[in-house]
A = this chain, B = another copy of it.
Amino acid sequence: MMNDILIRNVRPFGGEATDLYILNGRFADGHSESAAVEIDGSDHVALPGLVEAHTHLDKTLIGMDWFENHVGPTRNDRILADRQAKRELGIDARRQSARQILQTLALGVLHIRSHVDVDTEIGISNIEGVIETREAFRDLVDVQIVAFPQSGMLVREGTLELMEAALKAGADIVGGIDPASIDRNPVHHLDAIFGLAERYGKPIDIHLHEPGELGAFCLELIVERTRALSMQGKVMVSHAYCLGMLDAPRQRALVDALAAERIAVMTVGSPSGPALPLRAMRQAGIVLASGSDGIQGTWEPWGNGDMLERAKYLAQRNGMTNDADLAEMARICTFGSAEGIALADYGLSSGCHGDVVLVPARTLAEAVALTPQRRTVIRRGRVVVRDGVPSDALPHIG
């Protein structure tokens, strides 16, 4: 029997209805008359696998006791509370990352980049835990692991060495965080992480919350190093709030500089953070990615990891209500993020991996606006979720 699947009469990315055919795990042209599996895709929009380009798999509290959040308002309050929670709540990175992956798989998230904490209290145990989960879910979801110095790097001696150990253990990407306001020395911080990236041939993904002109200066330092080390297309800046806090000419110059070095930007569309100039960034050719950030953790009590809902948040934060704008936000949460985290063979075209999410909606804009939950999710030609119900064959988590 052919290992094939035919989806009839579905609207790829909201376009004209057509049939989609997957053979041996990849999209193929034409199709046999009798596929092993046939799905009626009418009244559905087909999206490539949703891409979670920025989350913290190791720190979700899904399925654990309710965490009573009494944490103060500053980033440092939250970092301290976060480290304390890891100590006191016994957050098992292996188990918790698996829980989040299963929850978001049901919504069609098939590709995840996760920042994973490395610090002098837990060492690289969270990295090891998420690596275990990555192996267990290898057939279902792609997981990229960023070695992330959440508590600071230079300011906590030994952290840089742990990041190197994380890379040796299997982390894929060098992380970083606020080189000025947290690590107190932007040049040393950036030199250190670009150095690691160069030595290990890894990309970079840096958390940059630095505000206004401080953030702009840090962006310039990142641009300079990306150019000097020819790391174009291998650097992502996450959050980059400063881009939403500058006057127009300054903003423009930075946007152009990021575009010139093909530095991608990840934004979650935070309702309380500065809104990034998404339209101008896109027009300048910057690759835009998005993510959920933490889900149900000590930082934020909410979050479901639905990257279609994330597209809605992006639209809402930017005051967009047009169908065309909503489609663009859906593009960020699929193709944009896929490019940002360098996924291969991504999309709905012939030859791409046979990953697809069928969303019951008349148009792509409706899918974004109403985020219907009864989705069908296909991974490499295998139906893993049908009308919102996960396959019995999926792993169960203790």
Could you tell me if A312 and B323 are in contact, using CB atoms closer than 8 angstroms? no
- Docked Cα-Cα span, A57 to B398, in Å, equals 46
B369 adjacent to A301 (CB under 8 Å): yes
A271 cross-chain contacts in B, Cβ below 8 A: 269, 271, 313, 316-317
Encode contact with B along A256-273: 1 for CB under 8 Å, 0 otherwise.
Answer: 000000000000011110
Q: Do residues A301 and B321 form an inter-chain contact, with CB atoms below 8 A?
A: yes
Question: CA–CA, A365 to B66, complex, Å?
Answer: 9
Task: Fill in one digit per residue for A297-309: 1 if any B CB lies within 8 Å of its CB, else 0.
Answer: 0011110100000
Interface residues of A in 139-196 (CB under 8 A from B): none
Q: Oligomeric state, in number of copies?
A: 2
- Nearest chain-B residue to A325 (Cβ)? B69
Instruction: Given A271-B313, A313-B271, A370-B296, decide whether A363 and B319 contact each other with a Cβ distance below 8 A.
Output: no
Q: Does A136 contact B (CB under 8 A)?
A: no
Q: In the complex, how many angstroms separate the beta carbon of A380 from the nearest chain B beta carbon?
A: 31
The one of B70, B319, B369 in contact with A323, judged by C-beta atoms closer than 8 angstroms, is: B70
Q: For residue A78, which residue of chain B has the nearest CB?
A: B321
A302 and B69 within 8 A (CB): no
Closest 7 pairs (CB-CB, A-B): A272-B319, A301-B369, A302-B369, A271-B271, A271-B316, A66-B362, A271-B317
**Complexed CA–CA distance, A269 and B73 (Å):** 19
A280 within 8 A of B: no
Residues in chain B near residue A80, CB distance under 8 A: none
Please indicate the chain B residues that have their CB under 8 angstroms from the CB of A313 in the complex.
271
Residues in B neighbouring A363, C-beta threshold 8 A: 66, 68
Interface assignment of A324: CB less than 8 Å from any CB of chain B: yes
Are A272 and B318 within 8 A (Cβ)? yes
**Contact call B322/A70, Cβ cutoff below 8 A:** yes
